[in-house]
Every structure is written in C-alpha cells, then in structure tokens.
Structure 1
C-alpha cells in the first residue's frame, strides 16, 4: 500500500485516526469495549472508557489470550489486556452509505485474531462494502464455565461489537441497517449462534457461514471441562479459584488438558477433536441448538443466509497434526462408536470410496460429520423456517502440484479466495502454492458473490428450496453452487449426503 494521509472519524467514545491510501480508509484497533480483565474479568463486556484526544488507530489491537503463533499474525503476550478491538476498511469518498460486512474469525474458539493476513478487508472494501473485523475473548476467558458469571462471554463480545457497528458505522460510510455477519469454522458457529439468540436480534440483516462445526456444548460438559482445567492449573473450580489463576495459567492448563485427551484413545469424542471450548447451550443466550433451529420462532428480523463448506474439510487437520491418525478398521469403528454413528454408515463410506486407504475414509467421514453436514443442515433448517432466503455452496477447487501431489479443497482454503487475499502471508499453505490465473478469477467471483449478497441478498444463484419432508433422491431441492476452477457449476447434493438422512453425530459428551 502506498503511503497515505490520516483520516479522523468521531465515534461515540471519541475521535480515531486511521490511514488513507489507494482509495481506502483503514482504521485499526478501535476499542469497542473495555479490557475484560481486572474488575471486568469473566463478566459481560463493558463500554470502553471515552477519550477526548484523537486516538491513533493505525495498527491492530492486542490479540486475546492464547498459545497459538500464526504466520504473519501478532501473538498474545501476558499483560496484553486491551483485546476487545475492531478494525474498519472503507472506500474513501463514497457519498452513499455502503453495506457492511462484519467478519468473525475462526480458530476452534481458542486461537486466532482479526489481524490474520488472510482477513485483510481491502479487496472486499474496494468491491463496495465497509468491512469490519473484530477480536473477542477465546478459550477459557471467553467460554470457560465460571460459577456465578455469565457464560458465552465470547459471543457477548461479538454482540457488543455489533452494537458498536450499529452506533458508529455510519461515520465510516456504512449503512447500520444493512449489516451482514460472516464467519468461518468457529466464526461460522458463532454466526449460527447469533442467528438463534434473541440478544442479537436486529443487529444484522444477512449472514454468511462457512464450515459450521457441530460443536455446541451442553452445560454439564462445560462444567466438567472447567473443573479439569482448574485442576490442571492447580486452583479450585470456584469463581475465586479461577479468578486467582492468571490468563496465562489457564491457557497453559487448557493446553495440558488438550494434550491428555489427544493422547488417550479411550477418552471418547474429545480424543479426535480436542476443542475444549465453544458456545454453551446455557438456556440464557442460547436456548436451542443453533444448527437445528437457527431461526427463532416469532423473530422480528428475518435473516438471509449464505452457507459454504469445503469438499475435503478434515484433510487440513491431518496435515497440521491436530487430530489422531486413524489407519485401521478397528480405529475407524471406534471413531464411529465414539460419535454415535451406526456401523452401516462406515460401510457405506467404504463403498463410496472403493480401494481407498482407511485414513482417507476416516478423513472423509470425519470432515462430513464435523463440518459439512452441520453446514448443510443449518441451511436446510433455515430454509424450512422461512425466515429469509437461503443459499448453499461448496468449495471444490483442487489441483495437482508439479510433483504430482494433490492440492486439497480442505478446511479454510476458501477464506482467502472470498477475501481476495491470495497473496497474503501464509496463505500459500492453505491454497497449495502461488495463485494462478484461474485462482484469481475464482477469487474475483467469490468476492463478488459476498459483496452482492451483502448489498442485496443475492450472491448470483438460486436460493435453496427444501421440502418439509425431504427425500434422499430429491437433488433439486438440495442444489449446490460449486466453487471451482476453471469455472463454477451447479450440482445436486454430494453422494455421501444421502447416507446421513436420519443420522447425526452425538453431541459432545463426558468421557
């Protein structure tokens, strides 16, 4: 980006100054709530303290407590507390209010931040939107059970950031009455949660959810895991005990608990997907399963929904070593049993993949169970509820490297295409190497679809129509827009999808 000039915007809490360059106004690290530590730790977000002098907002804010170190991204350092910040990219000099695209990052509700290079909002802003990305509390700070304190604090942070957008985005050229929330993985699960929560009602008009995980915790499991983390930190699982533990101590304790589950094949569901935190069905913020019932009865604000999943979700988890390797039939059978899946489903996947190694069958089954099927079911439930139009898509861009190895359409590979950030630091790992002309054309199509959907609710293909009693053979009702190179296509449901009629993975449970 060429060097530019500053630009000051007056928000409700005080003036902020970002940069102007290449036709964009970029304002980074704006506080939308007070630091959630000290007297505010484990509490609902509080308003940021007002300021009078111009606040320089030219760099990203501190990230939430975590142990991850991601390429090109800042890391959390003990003592970093002003973590509830957001960022705004807006075209310079636009006379009319623009649609707003509000991004919630993924990362297993445990790591990540809005400062990741592939979440740069420049391309989407140049396409005609005001882009907002935010940080929120992660891990134990955001989702751990603390007796007497509100749960789902990370979701409450997201709602507070959306309230900031409602109150301030007009000053940046955005339309507060035309907000689209978007997210992938844990961000997609957050979108589903916000859609089903009365607390977020009226804060957005449309939603984009990619690779939604089926990971909504019953309260009993959240309480059990909090006790295990407290034990690992050497404190009591009481409010006083947990408040006495530093954020760093709880991050480190959480990592030890994750390592224990990952190393114990007899530990059930959590052995395969060692995510300790996520939205909790607490009966307060979340009163129902967001995948099964994303639209609230009698909701006053219908929401249009665009969903997407990738074809080979779980191959990424295998590549980065974040899940165990299953290479035997006995291991595959144990995985199915631990997830409440019938043996016939495993046999059907083997039949769909004749001659495939057990590992490939496991990755296909696990990816569908954890991400693909919940995403499609969210779309179908929303379509049946009639609470807004629903659009279904699948990311299937694959290619072969010069050495003959495959480039997978795996988890998160779709994100830099939709953001237009194919050249960002670290993205070549997700996308399998440098982008070619076909990749760039695909990225332009995805950017256009997102911005067109945010502007008027139409990404460019027909909405989903789902009968109240769908048949596995009814592929028309389940038509999918497939993102691919050199061009996109429309298909019926993936062959494996019909195998799941009447089957759902068991919810996360106690080992």
Structure 2
C-alpha cells in the first residue's frame, strides 16, 4: 500500500517491484469537466485498488492485448507506477508518454510495460491522456491542447507524489515515441511545463503542430459529420462516441479523395495547436531560441519510418512519377528536393522513393532538426538512429520502421503483438540490442550521459549519429537525405 496526497492505493509486488495501476491524477474529463483543462481528482476514503489499468480515452482503435474504450467509462485520466518494493533510496523517474497519432493508444498496451526499465534502476510512470477531438479538437471558448494539459497535470502529480513510490521528484525524465515524442517537444517549449522535468527522450518526433485556423476548419468538418453546429454548445451536445465516429468519417473522406491535399497521405487529423498559450510557437523555433535549454535531450528516429504505414495500409501507395510529384506539392516540398531524392535513389521503385521522402519529411528529418535546434541554442543533445535489420522466417526483410524501436527501449520484446513490429520472435542479438538500449535510457535518466558524445557542432556537414543495430552498434554520419532536408520546412497548403 502507498499513501498519496489523495488517498491510499494498493498495488501488487512482483519479483521485488511494486506495480501500482490506474491511479487518478485528475478528475474524469466529462460532464462539467468536458473540453476544460484537467480538474483536480477527488480524494478517496479507504484503500483504492491499484491492480488494474484505468479506462482508455475515447477512440475507435482496438490494439492487441490492450483494453478498448467503452462509452460508460469516464475515469480516463489515470497513471501507473513501477517502483522498487524496498524504498531503499530515491530513484530517477522516467515518465513515458504513449504514441498513437494523438488519436489512439493507451498506457495499458503490453509493449509499454515498465518492468524492464524499473529493473534497470528507474521509477517508471506511464499515463493516459485525452486523445482525438476530446484532447486536441478546437472548441470555441475552451482551451486547446487539452491532451498536453493532461500530461502536464500528470507531471504535477509526479512532482507531488512520486517520492512515496521511491522516485526522485528532482530527477524526472520524460520519454515518448511518435505522438509521445511530439508531445515531449511541445512540453519542452511550453512555459506551463517549465520545471516539471529535467531530461527528455524523444523518438520519431512528427512534424505535426497545427495553426489555430487549421484546427478551426477541422472542427467545422467534424461538426458537420456529427450533425451539430461548430460551436461550444454544438460540440458539447455531441457525445464522445459521436465525435469519434465523426472523426473517422472525416478521415475516410480524405483517404478516399486523392485531390484532398496532404491529409490524403497521412490522415492524422489531430495534433498540438499553436494556441498562443500552452503552445506559443512551433517547438523547433522555440527550442532554437533557447526554450528548454537546461533540459538534456536524447532523440532517435528509425531508418525506414514510413514502411510501417505502408504495411498496415494507413496511407495510399504512390507508384507513379506523377503521384510522387503530387505528394511533394501537397506537402509543400520544393520541386528540387524531389529531384535530389530521385538522383540519390536512381534505381529504386517509385514507392521506395515515396516512402523514404515521406518518412524523412514527417519524422526523421524533423527529429534531427529538433535536436540541432536544441544544440544550437546551447542545450546538451544526443543523436541516435534505429537501424536494426534481419530476415523474417519467410525470407522477407525486416524493416527498421516506425515504432520498431519501442519494444527494444522498453524491454518488451515478448509482449503481445510485438512480433508484428519486430518481424518475429526475438533472437539473442535482438535481446542484446534491447539490453544496450535500456542501459542507455537508464544512464541518461540517471546522469544525462547515454554512452556516446553529445552533438557539438550542428552546422557541420557531417553530423555524428549513434546507430542502434544488430549485432553491434556503430557511429555514422546523418543519412545522405538529411543534408537535402537541412533547410527545408514542410509548408502544406491550407486545409481542404
């Protein structure tokens, strides 16, 4: 049993670790709290059961081994803690923010289990936060970026309560991948999160912050699909389930319409909004001007980010030169960039060029750009790339695609559903790679030193990168395409 500031909670002890699940850090964000900033959770009497994950946020996704959302479950703002059972000394805290395109996922996914990182010497916290329209949709008169505000509230809970679990509130590292990594970039640049964490790990950071005009236009489309007015009253009159279903219909419309612009290729409707309050500027620009300079930053991207999206069919295939040119135009990429990619990949099929260009545009080049901005402003920054490759049991290649790095860093190679991400059961080389990545994260969270040199000259033509690979890691320069993206910022046209 652990006594928090709101009440006592009893978890379980497993092999020397105390696992406490489903702890409220804020009140249920529905009813009077809907579309508002997170409100304080109510204290409770007696001992709360902490043996099960809390409900997931509204979404339509059904993920392997994870609970699904049900409309009758409202207590979605909960977190989980893996901590030493003996309370021998305060441990560094690692706070994990899950990904999922700001639209799906939860802390209850099997590949997000905190056991391995806790065994490496950390107190691990994972949390749920509002997703989709509930978390990132624009509602007139209500705060934007409610999902980010939830994460900040969870970090405030860590500040106030984690010492009761054996964690050190003065040594907190935030970590996340994809939307989780994007959230971390936003938190680093947000004045509302200042002082709540001291280091940051961001994998596969998406270039996905939207101006308020984009969010307002999207609200009109979702409201129309839900049959309500795009006003506060109209959006409040639509149930969370109605807005999930309406959002899915808007996604389907973009996916089915090749003339619908950049959302046709990557139908991520929601993301952090440049609202002038929680998020005043794009994180790259904010970090370049010194925001979060005191925070040590470790970034990573995978070699073939967009291969996953192609594999799961979440984006259309581009197989013609005309389609490739349309994609570049829809994303606001300069024509000469496409020509340079074509020259570098002269013998590659069009699909491979498209996947390389899209993966770099949305994730890889943006992740490195974020790191360089932080380093240029004087922040300690460490670069890495995940390039683990092998052959599938059927003889096909295993790609280092989006999210393939997560089970290695969290030590969850045997979790339900992970074999799809990793291309099959883990072998001895895979387990050795996972141990190296866990050690690096634990060392970084403890001391700020992951095991390789920080980025010292982001303007150099050749930027050194620590490469995670099997059987052994190596050091390389940034990829050839990285140089092509050096001065390119995506500028997609307005929402269509």
| TM-score range for the pair, normalised by the shorter chain length | over 0.9
Shift of 1:78: 1.0
1:304 touches 1:389 (CA, 8 Å); kept in 2? yes
Which of 402, 421, 431 aligns to 2:422? It is 431
Q: Measure, in 1, the Cα distance between the counterparts of 2:270 and 2:370.
A: 20
Q: Secondary structure at the match of 2:453?
A: coil
Shift of 1:354: 2.5
Aligned to 1:499: 484
Aligned to 2:28: 35
Which moved further from structure 2: 403-412 or 29-38? 403-412
Aligned to 1:66: 59
Aligned to 2:147: 154
Paired residues for 1:51-130 under 5 Å = 51-130=44-123
Task: Tell whether 2:134 aligns with 1:141.
Answer: yes
Which of 287, 305, 308 aligns to 2:297? It is 305
Paired residues for 1:85-484 under 5 Å = 85-294=78-287, 297=290, 302-386=294-378, 388-467=379-458, 470-471=459-460, 474-475=461-462, 478-484=463-469
Shift of 1:108: 0.3
Shift of 1:297: 4.4
Deviation digits for residues 233-272 of structure 1 (CA, Å, limit 9, x no counterpart): 0000110110000000000000000000011111111111
Shift of 1:349: 1.3
Cα 1:298/1:424, change in 2 over 3 Å: closer
1:269 touches 1:509 (CA, 8 Å); kept in 2? no
Deviation digits for residues 189-234 of structure 1 (CA, Å, limit 9, x no counterpart): 0000000000000000000000000000000000000110000000
Q: Measure, in 1, the Cα distance between the counterparts of 2:62 and 2:291.
A: 43
Cα 1:102/1:489, change in 2 over 3 Å: same
Q: Measure, in 2, the Cα distance between the counterparts of 1:278 and 1:416.
A: 24
Q: Secondary structure at the match of 2:169?
A: strand
Shift of 1:507: 4.8
2:25 touches 2:40 (CA, 8 Å); kept in 1? yes
Cα 1:297/1:347, change in 2 over 3 Å: closer
Shift of 1:356: 1.1
Shift of 1:296: 6.0
Shift of 1:341: 1.2
1:19 touches 1:27 (CA, 8 Å); kept in 2? yes
2:332 touches 2:493 (CA, 8 Å); kept in 1? no
Q: Secondary structure at the match of 2:480?
A: coil
Q: Measure, in 1, the Cα distance between the counterparts of 2:130 and 2:160.
A: 21
2:25 touches 2:153 (CA, 8 Å); kept in 1? yes
RMSD: 1.1
Shift of 1:291: 2.3
- Structure 2: runs of 5+ lacking an equivalent: none
TM-score for the superposition, normalised by structure 1: 0.96
Q: Measure, in 2, the Cα distance between the counterparts of 1:390 and 1:450.
A: 14
Shift of 1:466: 2.5
2:382 touches 2:455 (CA, 8 Å); kept in 1? yes
Aligned to 2:3: 10
Shift of 1:73: 0.4
2:178 touches 2:206 (CA, 8 Å); kept in 1? yes
Q: Secondary structure at the match of 1:251?
A: helix
Q: Measure, in 2, the Cα distance between the counterparts of 1:244 and 1:214.
A: 32
Shift of 1:501: 2.4
Q: Measure, in 2, the Cα distance between the counterparts of 1:310 and 1:293.
A: 24
1:218 touches 1:508 (CA, 8 Å); kept in 2? no
2:172 touches 2:199 (CA, 8 Å); kept in 1? yes
Q: Measure, in 1, the Cα distance between the counterparts of 2:425 and 2:451.
A: 27
Q: Measure, in 2, the Cα distance between the counterparts of 1:367 and 1:433.
A: 23
Shift of 1:293: 2.4
1:191 touches 1:207 (CA, 8 Å); kept in 2? yes
- Structure 1: runs of 5+ lacking an equivalent: 1-7
Q: Secondary structure at the match of 2:170?
A: strand
Aligned to 1:4: none
Aligned to 1:509: 494
Q: Secondary structure at the match of 2:274?
A: coil
Aligned to 1:3: none
Cα 1:29/1:145, change in 2 over 3 Å: same
Cα 1:129/1:295, change in 2 over 3 Å: farther
1:27 touches 1:89 (CA, 8 Å); kept in 2? yes
Q: Secondary structure at the match of 2:168?
A: strand
TM-score for the superposition, normalised by structure 2: 0.98
Shift of 1:402: 3.8
Q: Measure, in 2, the Cα distance between the counterparts of 1:364 and 1:178.
A: 37
